């Protein structure tokens, strides 16, 4: 397992793809759970239950591999609580409680779903804290394609129209020529709104960092020039004394 983790981390393109995939799957899972709470979707019925199980399975494999590769298992569990919460098998527990006809126990399932959302948000929080502008750009593109599909299905428009709505919403332009009407479309629009706020913030931060680095480089060059000037003066004084 350590070899798998080392291989992913040493290959930059693979590592970027892995991080973006995990973040994107977390967003999809959060949207599904929130919409299940709102009554727009039922993730405990096909085909959504298979999507939910698929995402859950990927997170489980990811956690098991990283746990197996960790030197200190206890430290890994403590510092990756969010990852552990994100692999709570909620759908399986729901089926068990439904078959057992334990009505009150269904409240536990809803609580576990909330805990799973906390874990998924924790995954995203760590992603945004540790990754740079290009990671966020890749994630934004994937999320916009996802919300474009939601717009296309819920608003009964073409995918290109849905993509146009997603782009204008994310970039905070909002021409108003196309607007969501259904609840599902409005949820997708809210996702794009938050995505746009984060994108502008990341872009501003990246530009600021570029200018900060340039200023630091200029200051460094000025210090080197000052040192060279002092050395030249010292050499001239020494030469005049020798003469």
Stated length of the chain: 243
d(CA 34, CA 37): 5
Residue 102: what pLDDT?
44
Q: How many domains does the chain have?
A: 2
Q: Are 105 and 156 in a shared domain?
A: no
- Report percent pLDDT > 70 for the chain: 67
Residue 111: what pLDDT?
56
Give the CATH number for residue 147.
1.10.287.70
Q: Are 238 and 144 in a shared domain?
A: yes
Segment 4-53, tens digit of pLDDT: 767 766 777 777 778 778 878 887 887 777 777 667 677 778 888 888 88
Q: Are 122 and 3 in a shared domain?
A: yes
Give the count of beta carbons closer than 10 Å to the beta carbon of residue 146.
18
Q: End of a domain among 77, 95, 130?
A: 130
Segment 206-242, tens digit of pLDDT: 656 655 554 555 566 777 788 888 888 878 777 777 6
Residue 100: what pLDDT?
43
Does residue 58 surpass a pLDDT of 50? Answer: yes
Residue 104: what pLDDT?
46
Q: Are 73 and 175 in a shared domain?
A: no
Q: Are 141 and 175 in a shared domain?
A: yes
Predicted TM-score (pTM) of this structure: 0.52
Residue 124: what pLDDT?
66
d(CA 38, CA 229): 71
Residue 162: what pLDDT?
87
More confident residue, 97 or 71: 71
Does residue 93 surpass a pLDDT of 60? Answer: no
Q: End of a domain among 130, 158, 190?
A: 130
- Domain containing residue 186: 132-243
Q: End of a domain among 130, 164, 179?
A: 130
Give the CATH number for residue 28.
1.20.120.350
Residue 212: what pLDDT?
58
Q: Are 143 and 86 in a shared domain?
A: no
Q: Are 125 and 8 in a shared domain?
A: yes
Q: Are 23 and 98 in a shared domain?
A: yes
Q: What is the DSSP string of 24-81?
A: HHHHHHHHHHHHHHHTS--TTSTTHHHHHHHHHHHHHHHHHHHHHH-S-HHHHHHHTH
138's CB contacts (< 8 A; 6+ apart) are 16, 20
**Which string of b and e fits 185-198 if b means at least 16 CB within 10 Å?**
bebbbebbeebbee
Q: Are 164 and 176 in contact (CB under 8 A)?
A: no
Q: Are 118 and 148 in a shared domain?
A: no
Q: Are 117 and 17 in a shared domain?
A: yes
Q: Are 122 and 142 in a shared domain?
A: no
Segment 170-211, tens digit of pLDDT: 888 878 888 899 888 888 898 888 888 877 777 676 656 655
Q: Are 193 and 104 in a shared domain?
A: no
Residue 98: what pLDDT?
45
């Amino acid at each position: 397992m350590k070899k798998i983790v080392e291989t992913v981390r040493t290959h930059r393109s693979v590592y970027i793809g892995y991080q973006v995939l995990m973040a994107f799957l977390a967003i999809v899972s959060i949207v599904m759970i929130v919409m299940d709470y709102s009554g727009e979707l039922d993730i405990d019925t096909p085909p959504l239950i298979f999507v939910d199980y698929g995402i859950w399975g990927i997170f489980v494999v990811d956690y098991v591999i990283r746990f197996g590769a960790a030197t200190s298992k206890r430290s890994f569990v403590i510092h990756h609580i969010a990852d552990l919460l994100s692999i709570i098998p909620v759908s399986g527990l729901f089926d068990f409680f439904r078959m057992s006809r334990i009505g009150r126990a269904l409240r536990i399932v809803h609580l576990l779903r909330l805990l799973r959302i906390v874990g998924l948000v924790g995954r995203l929080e760590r992603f945004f804290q540790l990754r740079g502008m290009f990671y966020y750009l890749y994630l934004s593109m994937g999320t916009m394609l996802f919300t474009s599909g939601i717009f296309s299905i819920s608003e009964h428009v073409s995918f290109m129209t849905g993509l146009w709505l997603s782009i204008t919403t994310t970039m905070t332009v909002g021409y108003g020529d196309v607007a969501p009407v259904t609840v599902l479309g409005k949820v997708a629009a809210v996702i794009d709104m938050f995505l746009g706020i984060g994108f502008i913030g990341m872009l501003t931060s990246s530009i600021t960092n570029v200018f900060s680095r340039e200023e630091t480089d200029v200051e460094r060059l000025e210090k080197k020039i000052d040192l060279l000037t002092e050395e030249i003066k010292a050499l001239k004084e020494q030469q005049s004394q020798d003469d």
